[in-house]
Structure 1
């Protein structure tokens, strides 16, 4: 289980929260030319001197819908300001559902379609939803991964900063813990998750399992806790418990690359290689950071006796590690 241990090490040392995209703040935002569901052509460069907020989201994803709803509320404060919001869905998403979801929830932002996943690739989207703030000069100022409890405050503050209405000091004051009410259950669940990470780092797997289970008890929808628990079960050679746990993670987020990779790894361990290959291929298609996924695919093909296919997958895993320096996870980054 060396590869599982390596995955856990990277999960420990590289925090998910800071990296919504691959492009750091202060860099130029890549331009795009996309068409909306209504047939409107939108480009970043043609912004008419406006700050642009971009939300990359998925249908059938609770946090994505919450982000869109919160953005609607916040944008009421900027209705007379030079700010626009563009939302983006992937071309392989359910476009009919995207149209009905926005209509049913009175979300009046344009929904453009990333048919070739060029935007996804150019920006290095790591998690759904991802929100990116671009100033009038086309410079990325901030990004927000997923939908944190403080999303509204972050979204408002980052837009004000991009408009020049507040400076960095006032932004920090605005986002101070004294001004943001934290969800106590979220904080406690995160504390227990971090404790589990420390136990894992020190090889104390049973203590890690107990801690992450408590994290889930406190907050049952903490996706990263379910994923960590699943990988811990794999480390303990318990594929049945891992399958149950990763399936629960996929209930929370059906598009989680990490959960699919772990599920595929569990099927490999159980010897159900065809199932493993099917789900790992699915995980690899939509995941630009699929080193772990390709490794598990290589292992599955090797066990099936398909040597050439196995070598191809192993090469892909190594290539991504060497050239991208990104770990096989939407929740980790290797510097």
Structure 2
């Protein structure tokens, strides 16, 4: 009787493991087909609040270029690129280019401390439930998506950006 129970239990565990492996493989191999965002796509619209409680709707920025950056306070590459983003924001904010920096799921206290430490003036949006992160299918942080004045994605960059690259990216989405 004990051997039979053990056999059933092992069979159930094996079935669960096989199912998990099949699901993982399926997920990885169909990632592209499930709608990974691509250059040339219309940027999905969203509404998020900033640190002052103001709401930002992406579609309200049509007519401007948007430098959409996903980041976290714990992410060292994110922290290193933030001063460069701030420098370029000061140059481009009056030239039709907006930075929307989307913090992914962190408490306001941590975000505020980070913003004060780095003297950031561009809008910091709170994606508390990671809805926009999932909508855009962002995996590594930081990831930056450039959106032109028509709302079309023109670039998707993962990883830390040097200041010269940020400057070039902002120039590329500057309305003419």
TM range (shorter): 0.7 to 0.9
TM-score scaled to structure 2, two decimals? 0.74
List per-residue Cα deviations over 1:226-269 (Å, max 9, x = no partner): xxxxxxxxxxxxxxxxxxxxxxxxxxxxxxxxxxxxxxxxxxxx
List per-residue Cα deviations over 1:74-117 (Å, max 9, x = no partner): 223314200111111123x2321111111121011111111221
Residue 171 of structure 2 corresponds to residue 157 of structure 1: no
CA change 1:28–1:48 in 2 (3 A) is closer
Structure (1 or 2) with the greater helix fraction: 1
Residue 139 of structure 2 corresponds to residue 126 of structure 1: yes
Match for residue 21 of structure 2? Answer: none
List per-residue Cα deviations over 1:173-209 (Å, max 9, x = no partner): xxxxxxxxxxxxxxxxxxxxxxxxxxxxxxxxxxxxx
Secondary structure of 2:72's aligned partner: coil
Structure (1 or 2) with the greater strand fraction: 2
Match for residue 108 of structure 2? Answer: 95
Residue 90 of structure 2 corresponds to residue 76 of structure 1: yes
Q: Distance in 1 between matches of 2:108 and 2:151?
A: 28
Q: Distance in 2 between matches of 1:90 and 1:80?
A: 27
Q: Specify which of 24, 33, 44 is matched with residue 58 of structure 2.
A: 44
Q: State the Cα distance separating 1:48 from its structure 2 match.
A: 5.4
Secondary structure of 2:61's aligned partner: coil
Secondary structure of 1:45's aligned partner: helix
Match for residue 153 of structure 2? Answer: 140
TM-score scaled to structure 1, two decimals? 0.40
How many residues were matched structurally?
142
Q: Distance in 2 between matches of 1:163 and 1:79?
A: 10
Q: State the Cα distance separating 1:37 from its structure 2 match.
A: 1.8
Residue 74 of structure 2 corresponds to residue 63 of structure 1: no
Residue 126 of structure 2 corresponds to residue 113 of structure 1: yes
- Contact persistence 2:37–2:137 (CA under 8 A): yes
Q: Distance in 2 between matches of 1:76 and 1:114?
A: 24
Secondary structure of 2:94's aligned partner: coil
CA RMSD across the alignment:
1.8
For structure 2, the 5+ residue unaligned runs are 1-34
Q: Distance in 1 between matches of 2:93 and 2:126?
A: 24
Segments of 4+ moved more than 3 angstroms:
none
Greater length-normalized contact order (CA 8 Å, ≥ 6 residues apart): 2
List per-residue Cα deviations over 1:22-53 (Å, max 9, x = no partner): 31111110000011121010010001521111
- Contact persistence 1:23–1:124 (CA under 8 A): yes
> Which deviates more, 46-55 or 133-142?
46-55
Match for residue 324 of structure 1? Answer: none
Q: Distance in 1 between matches of 2:62 and 2:37?
A: 23
Secondary structure of 1:46's aligned partner: helix
